[in-house]
Amino acid sequence: MSEKLWQKGYELDRFVEKFTVGKDYIVDVKLINYDIVASIVHAKMLSKMGYITHEEFKQIESVLKELADLVKKGSFQIKQEDEDCHTAIENFLIQKLGDTGKKIHTARSRNDQILTALRLFYKDQLKEIQELTEKLIKATENFSKKYGKVSFAGFTHTRKAMPTDFHTWSMALHDALKDDLSILKMTYRLIDQSPLGTGAGYGIPILVDREFIARELGFKKIQQNPIYTQLSRGKFEYLILHSLSQISYDLNRFASEIVFFSLPEIGYIVLPKELCTGSSIMPQKLNPDPLELVRAYHNRIVSKMIECVTIPSNLITGYHRDLQLLKETMIEGFQIVKDIIVVMQIVFEKLQVDENRCSKSLTDDVMATHKVYELVKQGVPFRDAYKKIAQKFGGDEK
């Protein structure tokens, strides 16, 4: 039977135990490697401060590296009775090292422990999303090189409006994603603070070298105030998902545009069959399902963002178990955004443009605004030029 980190000699109601553990033992599979890395650094700090011997540190380090190898091979499982990765790690150390393993939790709480693992996870995820976004940006550039000179009628109010071209169109997403990268980088800089050493929000009653921990774990700086460190859980998650929603927002709108432009009735864009699914009843159908899901997933990101701002919003200072629910929200949110970026990269790499249909869209009415400005260049006041051209297209003569 696994020993819980909070065990005080009584048995918890079985249903309550299952309820409070929730999915943590499953979700924490994504976080255990980060917790192992942070635990090694924490043990190194304990040795530096004299709370454990150097030999004890080397033993703890060796066992934690052994555990990391088991995790990598898929040979280690976090059990429900473990509750989470923190307990699973400590129980493994105690099983291997006895009393030496019991010393690992000196000068830390599960609260700053999970914050540290999450921060390390978030940093890696943000870097990965940045790299994927840069690949998508490159795909928009390549699309522009291939089709950028093709002109077509742009739309306002879903009605043909004025001419544009695929360079302007694709570079709109390009520029939007560039701005999104700036937001991601700002978010990364803000969360790049080490929380380890703040305990459950009120510090640690013995001296710890937080600067040493931050350097060893690759954080830019330490998060100074212990109460705010706990308050930032939920706040930082909200910020991260807001940043990710900027990407999903842009991809949502361009997914809708591609669905619209690829309508047979418009036909500017041709979606290759490998980007479409079919109907179970209508044999002629080719459906843009991946693009429709990109649209829908943006709304899921927004809903997860709302979770992150509402769950912690009315809590007083200090840790609360409510925050446990945000782990799954964040892990799923990162995966969704990574997936939709990759899907849109594939779409831009395979999209085709029907130059003939684009050319046919440039009807005389689409050039109306240009005709207005031809008159303006001749000295005609804009409002008079506007009315004169409007009359040609059925406008009021008054």
Q: Work out the burial of residue 129: count CB atoms within 10 Å of its CB; fewer than 13 is exposed, 13-18 middle, 19 or more buried.
A: buried
Entry pTM? 0.91
Q: Rounded to 5, what percent of the chain is helix, strand, coil?
A: 70, 5, 25
Beta bridge partner(s), residue 353: 269
DSSP conformation class of 101 = G
Three-state SS string over 267-327 comes to: CCEECCHHHCECCCCCCCCCECHHHHHHHHHHHHHHHHHHHHHHCCCCCCCCCCHHHHHHH
Report how far residue 97's alpha carbon sits from residue 223's, in angstroms, rounded to the nearest whole number: 32
The whole-angstrom separation of Cα 328 and Cα 117 is: 14
pLDDT at 18: 75
pLDDT at 304: 97
In the chain, which residues have pLDDT < 70? 1-10, 395-398
The 10s digit of each residue's pLDDT in 79-130 is 887 778 999 999 999 999 999 999 999 999 999 999 999 999 999 999 999 9
Distant-in-sequence, close-in-space partners of 279: CB < 8 Å, separation ≥ 6: 285, 287
- How many residues can be counted in the chain? 398
Residue 209 per-residue DSSP state? -
In this prediction, residue 116 carries a pLDDT of 97
End-to-end C-alpha distance for the chain, whole angstroms: 89
Q: Which residue segments constitute the domains of the chain, with CATH numbers given? A: 14-106 (1.10.275.10), 111-360 (1.20.200.10), 363-398 (no CATH)
Sequence-distant (6+) residues with CB within 8 A of 266 are 260, 357, 361
User: Can you point out the beta strands (E) in 166-207?
Assistant: 193-194
pLDDT of residue 79: 86
Which pLDDT score is estimated for 398? 43
Strands 151-156 and 352-353: unpaired
Span 296-351, pLDDT tens digits: 999 999 999 999 999 999 999 988 989 999 999 999 999 999 999 999 999 999 99
